[in-house]
Amino acid sequence: MEVIEVFKTNVETAEQAGRLIELIHENFPQFTANFDLDDCDRILRIKSAELIRENSIPDFLQQNGFDAAVLEDEIPPFIGNQIIVSAS
């Protein structure tokens, strides 16, 4: 089973992202990491065949001078094959 966790970060440059990916792979060899700095949340994706402890990556990035927070899945409710949209 593959586990994917997505984090919002404050990483700004490709150089910062590259260095953090190196550090993540050195310290968490079971993880595969990549950044999407074009996304407004500057996404960090972590893939692993193992469970990813929720605070391991945010704590690790904080130790290296950056912030990260888990992005929760936003799955709309379904009835049958219809998405329920509420008018707010």
Whether residue 83 lies inside any domain: the answer is: no
Task: Look up the pTM and report it.
Answer: 0.79
Which CATH number characterizes residue 54's domain?
Answer: 3.30.70.100
CA distance 43 to 75: 18
Domain count within the chain: 1
Q: Does the residue 16 lie in any domain?
A: yes
In a domain, 74, yes or no: yes
State pLDDT tens for residues 22-81.
999 999 999 999 999 999 999 999 999 888 887 899 999 999 999 999 987 665 555 556
Amino acid at residue number 31? F
The pLDDT assigned to 67 comes to: 97
Distance CA 22, CA 4 (A): 18
Residue 14 falls inside a structural domain? yes
What's 65's DSSP letter?
Answer: T
Pair of tokens at residue 80:
């049958």
